[in-house]
Amino acid sequence: MGWEDELFALFDDLEDQASALYAAERDLEVADRSRAEYRQVTLSSRLMASVGDEVTLGILGVGSVTGTVERVAADWLLVSAGDHAGHHDWVVDRTAVVTVEGASDRAVPEVAWSPLTRLGLGSALRRIADAGEPCLLHLRDGSRHDGVLGRVGADFCELVEGERRRTVLIAFSAFAAARSGAR
């Protein structure tokens, strides 16, 4: 092998090393950008991508609920669940959700959500109240209240309990979830 061949082999080797260093540096930059972008992903956006999927939620004051995600809003979600006690819909305060199993790997950014997703927890509870059906309210401390939702205020709801028709005011800050079909 002549000196020219050795020189070209050296240049090829240096070029290969430079390409490998560039690729490694680019991979690190892409990984860093991916991490930086993922910081923008919210739990609600992962749940939005899971609409129609079965998930298991760990909910403060309730425990585990397994069901199909039907609707997601910025601060609440609707889950349809069936068990030995029958079919129930759950309106869940998003901030009471502590774990999610079975969620989609994808996320739907909030800019892509329908304007209806901006409706707050009060709107979801007003629909339950309008239906006039019994429900079971679960609070974050683990207590439960069985009755019929009455009026819904800005940051609380009224629940009419029992035969004596006792009205209990429940602050949204204590609310974890409402299950349809109580009693």
Q: By the 8 A CB rule, do 104 and 50 touch?
A: yes
Q: Is the pTM of this model over 0.95?
A: no
Q: Give the fold, CATH level 3, of 43-180.
A: SH3 type barrels. (2.30.30)
pLDDT tens-digit readout, 53-85: 999 999 999 999 999 999 999 899 999 997 666
For the chain, the distance separating the N- and C-terminal CA atoms, rounded to the nearest angstrom, is 92
pLDDT tens-digit readout, 78-117: 999 976 667 889 999 999 999 999 999 999 988 888 888 8
Q: Where are the domains of the chain?
A: 1-39, 43-180
